[in-house]
Amino acid sequence: MFFETRSLTKAFGGLVAVSQFDISVNEGQIVGLIGPNGAGKSTFFNLVTGVFPPTRGHVVFKEKDITGMKPHQVAALGIGRTFQLNPLFGDFTVLKNVTASFHLHPRSSILDIYFNTRVHRRNEAHINGESLKVLDLLGLGGVKHVLAKNLPHGYQKLLGVARALATRPKLLLLDEPLGGMNPEEIDFTLTALRKTREQGVTILIVEHNMQILDLCDRVVVISFGQKICEGSPKEVREDEQVILAYFGGEHAP
């Protein structure tokens, strides 16, 4: 299995935020983890990426138990992540935001950088070129010289995805990538994420917006920290438990 969690549990004092949670993702898939606000989705991502240590259970990536690893160790293994609140460098250009993330994998030594050697210049040119490829992939090439703080909300969200891709992940965790977007931005983002999968990146998406179902191969639904449903997007839309928990008894769209 490419990625899975086994009985993953997190308790904060007497509050159990995630309980006995199992999920699996095959390489090349886009899997959605959806649920109402406060269902435990972001807590789950924090457990996977080492922000919180689990109370019980295991996180396994490419047959390796990574439970309890630090965030930088998880990232080094090939798991990238975005956040609901985008930690962008607002006074950097779009391009500079992405090249800064590429520098998490430095190829130049301190001496190369200090003396601006040929090796350093060649590496900087490579990073710049790879950053431009990422921006073009996500449709951001036309705003590469714009300051991040001046971008529309949807573009800022996509820039967070671009920065995560710059860490060269094998598994990309997207936390509410459609949050706060208008319909045009949502369509643009869904297209960009499909292109990302075509580049060989496996994607696990935490989302509240049900439009994400149109993107996913498989969907897992969480409510009050527990898995209540798993299946195809069609099966999830029609599941009575999901309708009750997610829509308060109303029919799914």
Q: What is the pLDDT of residues 49-100, one digit of tens each?
A: 999 999 999 999 999 999 999 999 999 999 999 988 778 999 999 999 999 9
Is there a domain that residue 52 lies in?
Answer: yes
Q: What is the CATH number of the domain that holds 23?
A: 3.40.50.300
Distance of CA 77 to the CA centre of its chain: 15
Nearest partner of 204 among 58, 45, 65, judged by Cα: 45
Does 122 fall in a domain?
no
Q: What is the pLDDT along the chain (253 residues), one digit of tens a residue?
A: 999 999 999 999 999 999 999 999 999 999 999 988 889 999 999 999 999 999 999 999 999 999 999 999 999 999 999 988 778 999 999 999 999 988 555 565 555 555 467 766 888 888 999 999 999 999 999 999 999 999 999 999 999 999 999 988 999 999 999 988 999 999 999 999 999 999 999 999 999 888 899 899 999 999 999 999 999 999 999 999 888 876 665 444 4
Residue 51, Cβ neighbours under 10 Å: how many? Answer: 14
Note whether 199 and 235 are within 8 A (CB): no
In this predicted structure, what is the pLDDT of residue 225? 95
Is residue 81 a part of any domain in this protein?
yes
Answer yes or no: is 130 within a domain: no
Residues 131/102, Cβ–Cβ less than 8 Å: yes
What is the model's pLDDT at position 179? 87
Which pTM was predicted?
0.89
Question: Is residue 83 assigned to a domain?
Answer: yes
Token output for 184:
């045009």
Q: Which residues contact 203 (CB under 8 A, 6 or more apart)?
A: 29, 30, 31, 171, 172, 174, 193, 196, 197
What range does the domain containing 174 cover?
3-91+165-247
Reading the block at residue 178, the tokens are 């459609």
- Residue 174 is predicted with a pLDDT of 96
Distances (CA, A) of 248 to 62, 89, 169, 214: 38, 39, 37, 22
Check: CB of residue 158 under 8 Å from CB of residue 139. yes
Task: Please tell me the total count of domains within the chain.
Answer: 1
